[in-house]
Structure 1
Amino acid sequence: MSRIKRWINMHGKEFNPDGTLKDEVRQQKISSGSDPAAIDSYARRLKTSYDEWKHLDETDPEEWVEYTAYDFFTPTQKEQFNPDGSLRPEYMESELNNGISEGWLEEMERRKKIEVDNYNQVSAAHAEQGINYGAWQMRERIGASRTYVQRRKQQEKDLRNFEDVDSLPFDKDASY
């Protein structure tokens, strides 16, 4: 999705979809004692940021990779399930031959279909807000799969860049 969608999501209560301050917001701020010049300055700054984000959307659109729930299946799950969460016929046949009950296989399928449906609903809701849920989940998984040494090196960079201490994976004062 676009940067503009995210901008509107952040500022849409006060600003119109074209990046201008809503008249009723301006009037409310004036009636609560705000200086009209300060309001105008605020509106100009936000309109400038809107225009910058819009320009970036037009000249350098963000990559939007569409991930599906299937992209997050483990290799074993990909052998067991189709992308929609239904069991693969060959897997079902193999498990029935191994003595697994049909009821359990149906339950596995039911649960996986619910998981896929939930992913699709959350992904769609996030997309409406300009957030690529699948990409966010993928970045989280990649970060979680880093080695300890990689995470320590990243923390050192984060500390040099004055990142919030709460966002660090380890206690900054601990000796390792």
Structure 2
Amino acid sequence: MLGTRIKRWINMHRKEFNADGTLKDEARQQMSSRGMSNEAIDDYAYRLKIKYDKWKHLDKTDPIPWPVYTAYDFFSAEEKQQFKPDGSLKPEYRESQLALGISESWLDEMERRKKLDVDNYNKVSVRDAEQGINFGEQEMNRLCASSQTYMERRKQMEIDLQNFEEPSSLPFDKNTPY
């Protein structure tokens, strides 16, 4: 299995280099047709092959951590009460909603949409992983950054209130809970 660094290297250089780090013949011919000498082409190929080998070695000796997140990790608390990790409705939730008069067809639609969300998340995760990108980790980092930004803005709003700023200039209503 290829490591994260090698996947990224291959993704960056796939037009010119093979998956084993060697220069493609087409790329060599193209460079030659643009006036590069054979020595310059060989030097370029050699330098990138060294980098390829170094990254391959690092992938074996010091792999990049790869935390695994599933679509379920991004469900809200309410969605976790309603849905299973695969996006299907939990039987107890379905029963309680039917007892409240919610139609079977609406519940089926909710389930269909959530399953689509899960399938899309999984497809993007697999596609990005092939390129050495951890989609789940990126999404989690984005969510964490968003929540930190919110908290920072909330703290700034408290300072603005203490300084008697005009309430209409505040980013939130002054009674917004955390």
Q: Is TM > 0.5 for Structure 1 vs Structure 2?
A: yes
Q: How does 1:52-91 map to 2 (within 5 A)?
A: 52-91=54-93
Q: Which position in structure 2 is the counterpart of 1:6?
A: 8
Aligned equivalents of 1:5, 1:17: Cα separation in 2: 9
Task: Quote the offset at 1:15 in angstroms.
Answer: 1.0
After the TM superposition, list the runs of 4 or more consecutive aligned residues in structure 1 that deviate by more than 6 angstroms. Answer: none
Task: Quote the offset at 1:27 in angstroms.
Answer: 2.4
Q: Which position in structure 1 is the counterpart of 2:126?
A: 124
Same amino acid, percent of matched pairs: 64
Q: Which position in structure 1 is the counterpart of 2:102?
A: 100
TM-superposition CA deviations, 1:107-142 (whole Å, max 9, x none): 111111111111111111112222211111111111
Q: Which position in structure 2 is the counterpart of 1:162?
A: none
Task: Quote the offset at 1:100 in angstroms.
Answer: 1.7
Q: How does 1:1-176 map to 2 (within 5 A)?
A: 1-147=3-149
Partner-residue secondary structure (3-state), 1:145: helix
Aligned equivalents of 2:152, 2:103: Cα separation in 1: 44
Partner-residue secondary structure (3-state), 1:4: helix
Amino acid in structure 2 at the alignment position of 1:58: K
Partner-residue secondary structure (3-state), 1:147: helix
Gaps of 5+ in 2: 154-178
Q: Which position in structure 2 is the counterpart of 1:159?
A: none
- Count of residues paired in the alignment: 151
Task: Quote the offset at 1:42 in angstroms.
Answer: 1.6
TM-superposition CA deviations, 1:20-58 (whole Å, max 9, x none): 212332122112211333222221221121122111101
Partner-residue secondary structure (3-state), 1:146: helix
Task: Quote the offset at 1:98 in angstroms.
Answer: 1.8
CA RMSD of aligned residues (A): 1.8
Aligned equivalents of 1:149, 1:131: Cα separation in 2: 28
Task: Quote the offset at 1:149 in angstroms.
Answer: 7.2
Partner-residue secondary structure (3-state), 2:148: coil
Aligned equivalents of 2:86, 2:49: Cα separation in 1: 43
Task: Quote the offset at 1:103 in angstroms.
Answer: 1.7
| Higher CA-based Rg | 2
Change (3 A) 1:148 1:66: closer
Aligned equivalents of 2:56, 2:128: Cα separation in 1: 20
